[in-house]
Chains A and B, each alone.
Chain A
């Protein structure tokens, strides 16, 4: 077992994990942050996206020990004082989600897109940037709309 120290959604945490344990397993099973999902096991779908030191990272392909000393933000840490993050609000207003399972990853992908590319995102950019996120419900139409609207308000 290894001790891993991280800051998760602003709170310092220290967990004991096996070296084989994935970051998503620590978040979900040890820290009860179940908003981060696992949907593919092969790093294809993006449901497990979290921000590690501000960078969107697939937590299903990151070992927990790799995150030692990092600052992690999960979907649970995005809203501040009960106010939704603009990207969260935009998903609601634009019907950018149906079953909700891919949604935390989609929102994180949107936030990360703005960090890298700025607030003014066109449809084609968003479509192409979402390559690492899969949704079966929405057909992506309203996800693209939501990210565009959310980005503009960030």
Chain B
């Protein structure tokens, strides 16, 4: 057979339907008699709703129903929730403001849904939505997280006076939590007694996730038994099901089937529960007909959870030999107008523990204040907390090297963690790694040592050339349940589940609770199953994204499929293998211990006696001649809860050329060396790196979800205003290499790869720009205007 197994760059099985137009995304699903929902959204960032007049709209052609927040509330529908409880350092719980699926009384961000119009056609629903009259009393809005903490900031939610002790008596009205990690006193002492201290102030720019497929919902209701079916653009159908049923109460869990058909990218934005799926389920039940909603791109900009948006001050201390002594980080995180499903997790446990980076830093203290603003909720976007941490640490170290006059690479190398497992002072225990190896490979591949010659050559052409470095650490898996779930505040377990069915004819079905939305799961999982039996991947089907088929699952986010999903598949294959060997042994009249598997055949070692996988599976189902201690059938299920997270790492080198006349930056060379542990399909994994690096390049150079501070309007609200990376932004030369240090935390030694590029690339790019310009004062996105202005002011100061 062809080598379809683990380690082979097999072209993807799923591609044929996507390249021929046969993919089925939620928006492609159409049910007989379906109605269309259109949402009337707030044009104001902050306002009281004085009145809602539906009289004209309800008379419009084709209108079937118009739903309001009051109606949903009366119907027992609960609010959207945040599923991760964070406790402030004074012991107070996080302050979660009410988040009704359709606004009641007040709106807190532009785009918040207030009324849902359901009509026979989408055009009719849109026409009727225009006729809904809402009278607002507008209120002052605040969109910047620092401003939101000021005493005179408009209060976005109304909380009871908090009796617990806050720094200045009462908590600022928009404070959600004031949380810390690490030893404050020890860190302060380390900084006080240090020989060198370097400080940096940074803003991590707000970004829009921007999956090319916008969100969509098709909700169906069968009145005879009260059963719902929801087709939805979700990264985690089972998690969505439990939230919609147990928490929001819109449908009972055992009568709610969720189908995520092909999902066109997510980058985090499709993890969360949104108003639209709640309202469409409700509307389908009321109408007794299917209800469909497909987001326009404008709605996606206004309502998909955004990412990042941190304001941070950080300082790092070194001894006289440039060893790191302490790191102190103070961050204000913007969570928007309401708390999205995992909003609280991102700037806390996915951020602060990553601030140890690849380094031995004996003392770390991180303080995070999360705040409400009049902006769309902020939650996970590719990397989720980890890019923010890496940006802080890697910019700070680069700045320190320059300020202290030491080599940037050597300053990092001197402080690398070298013994594993390594317990950081901020919770995480690194599993394995070889950071020296990564840096050495990256420096060599990027020809770091010859940079000065390239810089001089560029200068002759009138270009400013700079080189930057970033050594990132990631924490993947969002697991284990015991740590993250139990101790750190998760409302859910974070294991994964897989079921393997060997059919009577010997073909294999892998059912797994993750949800691929571009990552090539259908091929990767098939390779693992094919590898076990020595069969072609065409004999394997992979099924995800249907709660009626896949029994349980936690979905795909946080690069958790590699560690958790594949491990669940692996464990289920172990069980299949054990049973299949038992059956084969019986058929071959041999001992189980003597059975070996290769090329789809079970052989008795040392003999030519063998049966095929089909012989075994057929025997399992016909069950004519198997002993009574074997049950019929050949399907097995396994849950996998890892012992710990996995910690991929990498070293990125970026080289840029800046045109001083225009301020334009060109990324001329990008070198990425990643350690993802073992790799199933190198071609797919490399594709994840390409996409991740480009995503990070977008954040570093192009993208900013900018709100007008006065009105709270999203200024960058379409692809005409929000600058997505395009093909011409690609680094001129892009090199990638793997280093493989397997993790001991799962059976295949996989660490995860989906987010690494987006985590490591922004600081590498900005460090290259600051190197070229000779100033640290550059913020993301480093637009030509910002760079040109920096050059002008440097020129004036010179």
**Residues of B669-690 contacting chain A, CB below 8 A:** 683-684, 686-687, 690
Taking a contact as CB atoms closer than 8 A, the residue among A29, A102, A140 that contacts B694 in the complex is A140
Q: Check B298 for interface membership: any CB of A closer than 8 A.
A: yes
Q: Output the least CB separation between A82 and chain B (Å).
A: 10
B24: chain A residues at CB < 8 Å are: 34
Taking a contact as CB atoms closer than 8 A, the residue among A74, A101, A107, A127 that contacts B728 in the complex is A127
Q: A42-B718, A99-B517, A99-B518 are in contact. Are A35 and B214 (CB under 8 A)?
A: no
Interface centre among A20, A29, A35, A139 (most CB of B within 10 A): A139
Does A130 contact B692, Cβ atoms closer than 8 Å? Answer: no
Does B14 contact A100, Cβ atoms closer than 8 Å? Answer: yes
A89: chain B residues at CB < 8 Å are: 19
Does A41 contact B727, Cβ atoms closer than 8 Å? Answer: no
Does B21 contact A98, Cβ atoms closer than 8 Å? Answer: no
Q: How far is the CA of A22 from the CA of B718 in the complex (A)?
A: 19
Does B691 contact A40, Cβ atoms closer than 8 Å? Answer: no
Does B212 contact A99, Cβ atoms closer than 8 Å? Answer: yes
| Chain A window 81-104, contacts with chain B (Cβ cutoff 8 Å), 1 for yes, 0 for no | 000100011011101011111111
**Residues of A100-154 contacting chain B, CB below 8 A:** 100-104, 107, 126-128, 130-131, 133-144
Instruction: Name the residue on B nearest A107 (C-beta).
Output: B19
Q: How far is the CA of A141 from the CA of B734 in the complex (A)?
A: 8
Q: Check A45 for interface membership: any CB of B closer than 8 A.
A: yes
Q: How far is the CA of A44 from the CA of B718 in the complex (A)?
A: 9
Q: How far is the CA of A107 from the CA of B214 in the complex (A)?
A: 20
Q: Output the least CB separation between B503 and chain A (Å).
A: 25
Taking a contact as CB atoms closer than 8 A, the residue among A39, A97, A128 that contacts B15 in the complex is A97
Q: Output the least CB separation between A97 and chain B (Å).
A: 6
Does B684 contact A95, Cβ atoms closer than 8 Å? Answer: yes
Does A101 contact B718, Cβ atoms closer than 8 Å? Answer: no
Does B20 contact A76, Cβ atoms closer than 8 Å? Answer: yes
Q: A18-B123, A92-B15, A141-B734 are in contact. Are A134 and B212 (CB under 8 A)?
A: yes
Does B21 contact A136, Cβ atoms closer than 8 Å? Answer: no
Q: How far is the CA of A131 from the CA of B727 in the complex (A)?
A: 7
B265: chain A residues at CB < 8 Å are: 98-99, 101, 136-137
Does B23 contact A100, Cβ atoms closer than 8 Å? Answer: yes
Q: Output the least CB separation between A41 and chain B (Å).
A: 5
Q: Check A75 for interface membership: any CB of B closer than 8 A.
A: yes
Q: How far is the CA of A102 from the CA of B690 in the complex (A)?
A: 16
B210: chain A residues at CB < 8 Å are: 136
Q: Output the least CB separation between A67 and chain B (Å).
A: 18
Inter-chain CB contacts under 8 Å: number: 174
Does A44 contact B719, Cβ atoms closer than 8 Å? Answer: yes
Q: A101-B264, A133-B727 are in contact. Are A34 and B123 (CB under 8 A)?
A: no
Taking a contact as CB atoms closer than 8 A, the residue among B18, B517, B727 that contacts A130 in the complex is B727
Does B21 contact A76, Cβ atoms closer than 8 Å? Answer: yes
Instruction: Name the residue on A nearest B23 (C-beta).
Output: A100
Q: Check A13 for interface membership: any CB of B closer than 8 A.
A: no
Does A95 contact B683, Cβ atoms closer than 8 Å? Answer: yes
B719: chain A residues at CB < 8 Å are: 40, 42, 44-45, 134
Q: How far is the CA of A35 from the CA of B262 in the complex (A)?
A: 12
Q: How far is the CA of A140 from the CA of B728 in the complex (A)?
A: 9
Q: How far is the CA of A76 from the CA of B213 in the complex (A)?
A: 19
Q: Check B25 for interface membership: any CB of A closer than 8 A.
A: yes
Q: Check B520 for interface membership: any CB of A closer than 8 A.
A: yes
A107: chain B residues at CB < 8 Å are: 19
Q: How far is the CA of A18 from the CA of B15 in the complex (A)?
A: 35
Q: Check A47 for interface membership: any CB of B closer than 8 A.
A: yes
Q: Check B267 for interface membership: any CB of A closer than 8 A.
A: yes
Q: Check B628 for interface membership: any CB of A closer than 8 A.
A: no
Interface centre among A138, A140, A143 (most CB of B within 10 A): A140
Instruction: Name the residue on B nearest A74 (C-beta).
Output: B21
Does A101 contact B730, Cβ atoms closer than 8 Å? Answer: no
Q: A98-B265, A139-B692, A140-B730 are in contact. Are A35 and B21 (CB under 8 A)?
A: yes
Does B695 contact A139, Cβ atoms closer than 8 Å? Answer: yes
Does A137 contact B11, Cβ atoms closer than 8 Å? Answer: no
Interface residues on A, range: 35 or more
B686: chain A residues at CB < 8 Å are: 95
Q: How far is the CA of A18 from the CA of B297 in the complex (A)?
A: 23
Does A88 contact B683, Cβ atoms closer than 8 Å? Answer: no
Q: Check B16 for interface membership: any CB of A closer than 8 A.
A: yes
Q: How far is the CA of A34 from the CA of B725 in the complex (A)?
A: 26
A101: chain B residues at CB < 8 Å are: 23, 25, 211-213, 264-265
Does A103 contact B517, Cβ atoms closer than 8 Å? Answer: no
Does B18 contact A103, Cβ atoms closer than 8 Å? Answer: yes
Q: A42-B720, A44-B719 are in contact. Are A135 and B20 (CB under 8 A)?
A: no
**Residues of B1-35 contacting chain A, CB below 8 A:** 11-12, 14-25, 27-28, 30
Does A35 contact B23, Cβ atoms closer than 8 Å? Answer: yes
**Residues of B714-735 contacting chain A, CB below 8 A:** 718-720, 724-728, 730, 734
Q: How far is the CA of A95 from the CA of B682 in the complex (A)?
A: 11
Q: Output the least CB separation between A58 and chain B (Å).
A: 12
Q: Output the least CB separation between A48 and chain B (Å).
A: 11
Q: How far is the CA of A29 from the CA of B30 in the complex (A)?
A: 9
Does B11 contact A92, Cβ atoms closer than 8 Å? Answer: yes
Q: How far is the CA of A45 from the CA of B686 in the complex (A)?
A: 24
Q: How far is the CA of A97 from the CA of B263 in the complex (A)?
A: 13
Q: How far is the CA of A85 from the CA of B11 in the complex (A)?
A: 16
Q: Check A59 for interface membership: any CB of B closer than 8 A.
A: no
Q: How far is the CA of A135 from the CA of B15 in the complex (A)?
A: 16
Q: Check B129 for interface membership: any CB of A closer than 8 A.
A: no
Q: A131-B726, A134-B724 are in contact. Are A100 and B296 (CB under 8 A)?
A: no
Q: Output the least CB separation between A110 and chain B (Å).
A: 11
Q: Output the least CB separation between A64 and chain B (Å).
A: 13
| Chain A window 23-53, contacts with chain B (Cβ cutoff 8 Å), 1 for yes, 0 for no | 0000011000111111111101101000000
Q: How far is the CA of A126 from the CA of B728 in the complex (A)?
A: 9
Instruction: Name the residue on B nearest A138 (C-beta).
Output: B691
A134: chain B residues at CB < 8 Å are: 212, 719, 724, 726
Q: How far is the CA of A59 from the CA of B151 in the complex (A)?
A: 51
Q: Check A78 for interface membership: any CB of B closer than 8 A.
A: yes
Q: Output the least CB separation between A150 and chain B (Å).
A: 10
Q: Check B519 for interface membership: any CB of A closer than 8 A.
A: yes
B693: chain A residues at CB < 8 Å are: 139
Taking a contact as CB atoms closer than 8 A, the residue among B15, B263, B520, B727 that contacts A127 in the complex is B727
Interface centre among B19, B22, B734 (most CB of A within 10 A): B19
Q: A127-B727, A136-B695 are in contact. Are A78 and B20 (CB under 8 A)?
A: yes
Taking a contact as CB atoms closer than 8 A, the residue among A100, A133, A144 that contacts B264 in the complex is A100
Q: How far is the CA of A72 from the CA of B670 in the complex (A)?
A: 41
Does B730 contact A135, Cβ atoms closer than 8 Å? Answer: no
Ordered by A's residue number, 23 sampled pairs between the chains whose C-beta atoms are within 8 Å are A28-B28, A37-B25, A39-B213, A40-B297, A41-B297, A84-B16, A88-B19, A97-B18, A98-B519, A98-B687, A99-B264, A99-B265, A99-B518, A100-B15, A104-B21, A133-B727, A137-B687, A139-B695, A140-B694, A140-B727, A141-B687, A142-B687, A144-B730
- A79-B20, A84-B20, A98-B687 provided; 5 other pairs, C-beta below 8 A? A89-B19, A98-B520, A136-B210, A139-B695, A141-B690
Closest 9 CB pairs of A and B: A35-B21, A100-B18, A101-B264, A139-B694, A99-B518, A98-B518, A139-B690, A75-B21, A44-B719
User: Could you tell me which B residues sit within 8 Å of A by CB distance?
Assistant: 11-12, 14-25, 27-28, 30, 123, 210-214, 262-265, 267, 296-298, 517-520, 683-684, 686-687, 690-695, 718-720, 724-728, 730, 734, 757
